[in-house]
């Protein structure tokens, strides 16, 4: 049993989500419906995309403290430029992805600590967002709005989207050759370089992927909220980091799991709803969310330690 | 010994190759051709220029002057010419599976189903080099032992990877393998060379060089000082060419057991040691010696009350993992163990720190111009000396050593052996795990480990290679 959980790191995130889901349904049986599940999880879709973005950075042994500000900026661009002048909007979003790739180059080329660079960039993104939308407003482009409120038969949109994100990123990062090499950069960059790979370009690619998923997160968020605000997604920075770790990822060593990251994001989103169902005062909710996180991480640590001892 | 005569066009030809790092001439005009079918044993101290030579051949560095060509294939780069390197420090990605690690060094492995092909290729290579290896290609590398990782790395080196391995460079490949596995590797090298491949073999274990090399190349101070067929060398002439005299300790006669002080150690696992004794832990690699030492060390030290009270110090063998502090200077690395002793009211006494570092630099011969340089500016052997200085500078009466001579050159070893002897004479006790039998044979008492337990305790004249091997293997034939 210990061994099973230690070898298949994905089991624990799945179990945590299942337990939390069961508890939620027990507290509030009416949530067990097409509509209820969609309500529980639809805000998890942008969080899941942001978590995947964070995972791309953690995969190459860095960390992104600017992600929340970046997603907020994307949301502002989406609700203004992308709605009013779509061509310019697309160009700006493409430019933001390129900027992320540039950050990766900068960090690798000059051996800067990612934590410092991204912390600094968070103020840049935040400032840009404020200058675009000084007060909350803007309008979601209709096509994004209709995409985020689509009602597929049988399974709600949020679930379909989560499965889709997990499947695509799993294929990209775990199954493809380039994804394997990217994880290799996190595991042992020196040996990847020695095998003839351009590590600088690989890092730029990882950062560009993070930028791409960050942009998708911002767009999805605006699709749900219909308007934007410069501070709309600031808490995504920590949520995304927590989601990656909750999903079985490690801060260093290139150990990441895309499916786990998506599950981690769902768990975090669900934890918030669950705590509201408990009628817990909002003042306590953040603390309780932290407690859930610590609980799951402790369980994982116990499993890995035991497994190591047993050998 | 495979001695297919060197004929045809060389796989790689270095002509007057030089490499300078600033003012340092790491390689000073080297000409060397490696022909198909040859196995070249490359020997020399750390710092003699072996690593630089290897890096020129495999394309890791470009020469400052001279040329590196690949005449047999006409390829412009080492990778296309079929030159493969297996490095001394383990260079796999621990988070990837065995098969995925093959993918890192085999860029053409693309398209649908590449995983299946990668698994098949690595498994075939493992089966060829190490029959009965028992390694699952789907397992992530961090779940393998050090020896298994080294085996995977060697197998990746010999794998075809789209073309064909023509020249495989093996840098200390056997340092973490036990004798039986190392023998499998040597057998494979002979077979590989007989089939027209070439191997550049670097090892500090002279026995292996004589066993497998067709030609021995000796390097010293960035130059090739001797290059002759193996048959023309004897152990003595080889050591002489390298510029070192065989230490008298190496042939320590079975003297009568000197008197030691009182027993100061008696562990649950059965390890005992007296004051002033050098106790060896032997046996095949990975049979619980390192674990026994670690357990002993943690039992005798506390995470709370460090510093003045601790009576045991640890010398790490895996320098990168639990030895050096890579961001710190040589000085700080050496003195970190004694900071509490030389601190005054909690403030580090910088003058005392500098004095102690200078003293140990001289005593143990750390080759550096300035002890405030970063620790990584030193070669592996000298980094290990710093770790010894760190341990010996403390007042702890017991020194625990976890295979500290891994990848250390002969000169450094002789220096350290002498140091251990003199410290033991002063009453210090050493617990020494080593994978090299001649090191263990220098100990006063030897515990041989097999299957995580002590299988024999040898003292005095009983400490011979034969007895140790016997105790390491004893039961394996019986229950098979």
Give B311-351 pLDDT, tens digit per residue. Answer: 888 888 878 777 888 889 889 898 888 887 888 888 888 88
Contact at CB, A196 and B91, closer than 8 angstroms:
no
Tokens of B245: 């005299």
Same domain, B301 and B411: yes
Q: Is B117 on the interface with A (CB under 8 A)?
A: no
Contact at CB, A183 and B93, closer than 8 angstroms:
yes
Please state the ipTM of this predicted complex. 0.87
Tokens of B127: 């089966």
Average pLDDT score over residue span B37-55: 83
Q: Among B191, B218, B245, where does a domain finish?
A: B245
Same domain, B266 and B217: no
Q: Is A179 on the interface with B (CB under 8 A)?
A: no
Q: Is B114 on the interface with A (CB under 8 A)?
A: yes
Q: What is the CA radius of gyration of chain A?
A: 19
Nearest-CB residue to A181 (from B104, B115, B142): B104
Is residue A202 over pLDDT 60? yes
Q: Is A10 on the interface with B (CB under 8 A)?
A: no
Contact at CB, B93 and A191, closer than 8 angstroms:
yes
Average pLDDT score over residue span A266-271: 91
Residue B2 lies in a domain: no
Same domain, B204 and B95: yes
Q: Provide the shortest C-alpha distance from residue B105 to chain A (in Å).
A: 5
The 10s digit of each residue's pLDDT in A113-143 is: 999 999 999 999 999 999 999 999 999 999 9
Residue B363 lies in a domain: yes
Contact at CB, B96 and A187, closer than 8 angstroms:
yes
Contact at CB, A184 and B91, closer than 8 angstroms:
no
Q: Is A87 on the interface with B (CB under 8 A)?
A: no
Contact at CB, B103 and A254, closer than 8 angstroms:
no
Q: B96 with A187: CB under 8 angstroms?
A: yes
- Report the pLDDT value the prediction gives residue B47, as an integer from 0 to 100: 62
Tokens of A91: 């160009």
- For an interface test with A, which of B95, B142, B157 has the most A Cβ atoms less than 10 Å from its Cβ? B95
Lowest mean pLDDT among A86-100, A166-180, B411-425: B411-425
Q: B214 with B40: CB under 8 angstroms?
A: yes
CA angle B32, B38, B43 (to 5 degrees): 60
Average pLDDT score over residue span B282-291: 78
Q: Is B163 on the interface with A (CB under 8 A)?
A: no
Q: Among B202, B218, B245, where does a domain finish?
A: B245
Residues of B whose CB is below 8 A from A190: 91
User: Which residues, listed in sequence order, are joined to residue B317 by a DSSP beta bridge?
Assistant: none
- Report the pLDDT value the prediction gives residue A185, as an integer from 0 to 100: 95
Residues of A whose CB is below 8 A from B96: 180, 183-184, 187, 254
Same domain, B274 and B294: yes
- Report the pLDDT value the prediction gives residue B251, as an integer from 0 to 100: 43
Task: Give pTM, 2 decimals.
Answer: 0.75
Tokens of B334: 């050496």
Contacts of A160 (CB under 8 A, 6+ apart): A152
Nearest-CB residue to A188 (from B79, B93, B107): B93
User: Which residues, listed in sequence order, are joined to residue B219 by a DSSP beta bridge?
Assistant: B224
Q: Among B245, B271, B296, where does a domain finish?
A: B245
Which range of A100-109, A298-307, B415-424, B431-440 scores highest in mean pLDDT? It is: A100-109
Place of tokens 């101070």: B221
Taken as a whole, chain A contains a residue count of 311
Same domain, B298 and B219: no
CA B298 to chain centre: 25
Contacts of A286 (CB under 8 A, 6+ apart): none
Give the burial class of B380: count Cβ atoms within 10 A of its Cβ; 0-12 exposed, 13-18 middle, 19 or more buried: buried
Q: Is B79 on the interface with A (CB under 8 A)?
A: yes
For A307, which residue in chain B has the nearest alpha carbon? B143
Same domain, B163 and B50: yes
Greatest alpha-carbon span in chain A = 62
Is residue A42 over pLDDT 50? yes
CA angle B10, B11, B13 (to 5 degrees): 65
Three-state DSSP at B298 gives helix
% of chain B residues with pLDDT over 90: 20
The 10s digit of each residue's pLDDT in B96-118 is: 999 999 999 888 887 888 999 99
Average pLDDT score over residue span B433-456: 83
Q: Is B269 on the interface with A (CB under 8 A)?
A: no
Q: Is B148 on the interface with A (CB under 8 A)?
A: no
Q: Is A311 on the interface with B (CB under 8 A)?
A: no
Is residue B307 over pLDDT 60? no
Q: B339 with B415: CB under 8 angstroms?
A: no
Is residue B476 over pLDDT 50? no
Q: How confident is the model at residue B246 (pLDDT cuts 50, 70, 90)?
A: very low
Residues of B whose CB is below 8 A from A188: 91-94
Is residue B252 over pLDDT 50? no
The 10s digit of each residue's pLDDT in A149-158 is: 999 998 999 9
Count CB neighbours of B454 within 10 A. Answer: 18
Q: How confident is the model at residue B22 (pLDDT cuts 50, 70, 90)?
A: low
Q: Which of B227, B274, B245 is nearest to B445 (CA)?
A: B274
Contacts of B90 (CB under 8 A, 6+ apart): B146, B149, B150, B153
Q: Is B92 on the interface with A (CB under 8 A)?
A: yes
Nearest-CB residue to A183 (from B92, B95, B105): B95
Same domain, B235 and B253: no
Q: B151 with B177: CB under 8 angstroms?
A: yes
Q: Is A9 on the interface with B (CB under 8 A)?
A: no
Give the burial class of A260: count Cβ atoms within 10 A of its Cβ; 0-12 exposed, 13-18 middle, 19 or more buried: buried
Contact at CB, B93 and A195, closer than 8 angstroms:
no
Q: Provide the shortest C-alpha distance from residue A303 to chain B (in Å).
A: 15
Q: Provide the shortest C-alpha distance from residue B198 to chain A (in Å).
A: 20
Q: How confident is the model at residue B303 (pLDDT cuts 50, 70, 90)?
A: low
Tokens of B5: 């005569």
Same domain, B179 and B166: yes
Contact at CB, B104 and A184, closer than 8 angstroms:
yes
For β-strands B263-266 and B272-274, DSSP reports them as: antiparallel
Same domain, B285 and B142: no
For chain B, the domain total comes to 2
Q: B387 with B404: CB under 8 angstroms?
A: yes
Q: Is A183 on the interface with B (CB under 8 A)?
A: yes
Residue B123 lies in a domain: yes
Residue B412 lies in a domain: yes
Contact at CB, A181 and B114, closer than 8 angstroms:
no
Nearest-CB residue to B60 (from A177, A187, A194): A194
For B105, which residue in chain A has the nearest alpha carbon? A195
Give the burial class of A142: count Cβ atoms within 10 A of its Cβ; 0-12 exposed, 13-18 middle, 19 or more buried: exposed
Residues of A whose CB is below 8 A from B294: none
Residue B3 lies in a domain: no
Q: Is B161 on the interface with A (CB under 8 A)?
A: no
Residue B480 lies in a domain: no
Q: Which of A194, A181, A218, A231 is nearest to A82 (CA)?
A: A218
Scan residues 196-235 of B and list those with Cβ closer than 8 Å to A: none
The 10s digit of each residue's pLDDT in A60-81 is: 999 999 999 999 999 999 999 9
Q: B439 with B462: CB under 8 angstroms?
A: no
% of chain B residues with pLDDT over 70: 88
- Report the pLDDT value the prediction gives residue A311, as an integer from 0 to 100: 54
Tokens of A148: 């985020």
- Report the pLDDT value the prediction gives residue B475, as an integer from 0 to 100: 42
Q: How confident is the model at residue B293 (pLDDT cuts 50, 70, 90)?
A: confident
Please list the alpha-helical segments (H only) found in B214-346.
235-242, 289-300, 319-322, 330-335, 339-342
Buried-exposed string B114-125: b where 16+ CB fall within 10 A, e elsewhere: bbebbbebbbeb
Q: How far apart are CA A45 and CA A213, in angstroms?
A: 11
Residues of B whose CB is below 8 A from A255: 95
Residues of A whose CB is below 8 A from B60: 194
Residues of A whose CB is below 8 A from B107: 195-197
Average pLDDT score over residue span B366-394: 85
Same domain, B419 and B407: yes
Reduced 3-state DSSP string for chain A: CHHHHHHCCCHHHHHHHHHHHHHHHHHCHHHCCHHHHHHHHCCHHHHHHHHHHHHHHHHCCCCCCCHHHHHHHHHHHHHCHHHHCHHHHHHHHHHHHHHHHHHHHHHHHCCCCHHHHHHHHHHHHHHHHHHHCCCCECCCCHHHHHHHCCCCCCCCHHHHHHHHHHHHHHHHHHHCHHHHHHHHHHHHHHHHHHCCCCHHHHHHHHHHHHHHHHHHHHHHHHHHHCCECCCCCCCHHHHHHHHHHHCCCCCCCCCCCHHHHHHHHHHHHHHHHHHHHCCCCHHHHHHHHHHHHHHHHHHHHHHHHHHHHHC
Q: How confident is the model at residue B477 (pLDDT cuts 50, 70, 90)?
A: very low
Residues of A whose CB is below 8 A from B114: 177
Count Cα neighbours of B331 within 13 Å in the Cβ-side half-sphere. 15
Is residue B79 over pLDDT 90? no
CA distances A6 to A1, A10, A241, A304, Å, are 9, 9, 21, 5
A39, A264, A174, A303: CA torsion to nearest 10? -150
Q: Tell me the CATH number at B454.
A: 3.40.50.300
Residue B4 lies in a domain: no
Q: B56 with B20: CB under 8 angstroms?
A: no
Same domain, B108 and B53: yes
Contact at CB, B91 and A188, closer than 8 angstroms:
yes
For β-strands B312-315 and B445-450, DSSP reports them as: unpaired
**Ranges of each domain in chain A:** 2-310
Q: Provide the shortest C-alpha distance from residue A206 to chain B (in Å).
A: 16
Q: Which of A62, A199, A181, A7 is nearest to B142 (CA)?
A: A7
The 10s digit of each residue's pLDDT in A224-263 is: 999 999 999 999 999 999 999 999 898 888 999 999 999 9
- Report the pLDDT value the prediction gives residue B158, as an integer from 0 to 100: 92
- If you average pLDDT over every residue of chain A, what do you get? 92
Q: How far apart are CA A164 and CA A158, in angstroms?
A: 10
Segments forming the whole domain that contains residue B337: 249-473
Residue B457 lies in a domain: yes
Q: Is B104 on the interface with A (CB under 8 A)?
A: yes
Place of tokens 């400490």: B463
- Report the pLDDT value the prediction gives residue B89, as an integer from 0 to 100: 62
Residues of A whose CB is below 8 A from B101: 184
For A188, which residue in chain B has the nearest alpha carbon? B93
């Amino acid at each position: 049993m210990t061994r099973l959980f230690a070898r298949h790191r994905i089991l624990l995130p799945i179990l945590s989500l299942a337990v939390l889901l069961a508890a939620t349904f027990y507290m509030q049986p009416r949530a067990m419906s097409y509509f209820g599940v969609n309500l529980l999880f639809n805000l998890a879709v942008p969080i899941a995309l942001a978590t995947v973005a964070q995972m791309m950075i953690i995969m190459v042994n860095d960390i992104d403290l600017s992600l929340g500000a970046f997603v907020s900026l994307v949301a502002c661009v989406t609700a203004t430029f992308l709605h009013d002048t779509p061509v310019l909007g697309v160009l700006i979003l493409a430019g933001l992805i390129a900027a992320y790739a540039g950050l990766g180059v900068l960090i690798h080329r000059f051996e800067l600590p990612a934590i410092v660079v991204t912390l600094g960039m968070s103020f840049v993104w935040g400032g840009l967002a404020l200058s675009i939308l000084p007060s909350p407003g803007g309008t979601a482009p209709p096509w994004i709005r209709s995409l985020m409120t689509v009602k597929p038969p049988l399974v709600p949109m949020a679930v379909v989207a989560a499965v889709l994100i997990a499947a695509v990123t799993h294929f990209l990062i775990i199954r493809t050759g380039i994804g394997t090499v990217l994880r290799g950069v996190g595991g042992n960059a020196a040996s990847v370089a020695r095998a003839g790979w351009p590590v600088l370009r690989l890092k730029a690619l990882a950062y560009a992927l993070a930028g791409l998923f960050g942009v998708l997160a911002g767009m999805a968020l605006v699709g749900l909220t219909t308007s934007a605000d410069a501070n709309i997604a600031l808490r995504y920075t920590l949520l995304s980091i927590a989601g990656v770790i909750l999903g079985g990822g490690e801060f260093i060593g290139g150990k990441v799991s895309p499916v786990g990251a998506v599950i981690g994001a769902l768990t975090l989103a669900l934890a918030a709803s669950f705590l509201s169902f408990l009628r817990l005062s909002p003042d306590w909710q953040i603390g309780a969310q932290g407690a859930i996180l610590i609980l799951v991480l402790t369980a994982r640590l116990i499993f890995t330690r035991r497994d190591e001892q047993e050998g | 010994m495979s001695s297919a005569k060197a004929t045809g066009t060389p796989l790689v030809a270095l002509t007057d190759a030089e490499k300078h790092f600033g003012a340092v001439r790491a390689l000073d005009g080297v000409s060397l051709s490696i022909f198909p079918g040859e196995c070249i044993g490359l020997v020399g101290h750390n710092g003699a220029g072996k690593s630089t030579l290897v890096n020129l051949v495999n394309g890791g560095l470009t020469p400052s002057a001279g040329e590196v060509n690949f005449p047999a294939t006409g390829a412009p780069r080492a990778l296309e010419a079929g030159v493969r390197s297996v490095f001394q420090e383990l260079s796999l990605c621990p988070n990837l599976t065995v098969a995925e690690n093959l993918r890192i060094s085999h860029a053409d492995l693309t398209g649908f189903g590449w995983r299946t092909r990668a698994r098949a290729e690595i498994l075939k290579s493992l089966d060829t080099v190490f029959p009965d290896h028992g390694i699952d290609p789907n397992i992530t590398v961090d779940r393998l032992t050090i020896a298994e990782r080294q085996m995977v790395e060697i197998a990746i080196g010999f794998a075809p990877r789209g073309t064909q391995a023509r020249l495989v460079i093996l840098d200390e490949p056997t340092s973490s393998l036990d004798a039986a596995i190392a023998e499998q590797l040597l057998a494979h090298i002979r077979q590989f060379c007989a089939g027209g491949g070439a191997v550049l073999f670097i090892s500090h274990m002279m026995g292996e060089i004589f066993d497998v090399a067709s030609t021995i190349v000796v390097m010293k101070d960035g130059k090739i000082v001797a290059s002759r067929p193996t048959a023309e060398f004897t152990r003595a002439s080889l050591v002489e060419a390298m510029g070192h005299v065989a230490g008298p300790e190496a042939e320590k006669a079975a003297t009568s057991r000197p008197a030691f002080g009182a027993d100061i150690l008696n562990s649950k696992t059965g390890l005992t040691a007296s004051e002033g004794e050098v106790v060896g832990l032997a046996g095949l690699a990975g049979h619980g010696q390192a674990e026994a030492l670690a357990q002993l060390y943690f039992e005798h030290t506390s995470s709370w009350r460090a510093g003045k009270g601790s009576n045991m110090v640890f010398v790490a063998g895996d320098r990168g993992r639990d030895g050096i502090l890579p961001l710190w200077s040589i000085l700080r690395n050496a003195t970190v163990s004694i900071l509490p002793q030389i601190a005054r009211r909690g403030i580090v006494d910088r003058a005392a720190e500098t004095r102690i570092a200078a003293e140990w630099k001289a005593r143990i011969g750390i080759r550096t111009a300035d002890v405030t340089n970063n620790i990584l500016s030193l070669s592996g052997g000298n980094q290990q000396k710093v770790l010894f200085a760190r341990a010996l500078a403390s007042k702890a009466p017991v020194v625990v050593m976890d295979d500290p001579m891994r990848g250390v050159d002969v000169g450094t070893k002789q220096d350290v052996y002498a140091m251990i002897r003199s410290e033991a004479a002063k009453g210090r006790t050493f617990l020494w795990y080593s994978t090299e039998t001649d090191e263990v044979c220098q100990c006063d008492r030897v515990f041989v480990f097999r299957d995580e337990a002590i299988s024999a305790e040898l003292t005095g004249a009983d400490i011979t290679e034969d007895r140790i091997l016997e105790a390491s293997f004893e039961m394996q034939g019986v229950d098979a």
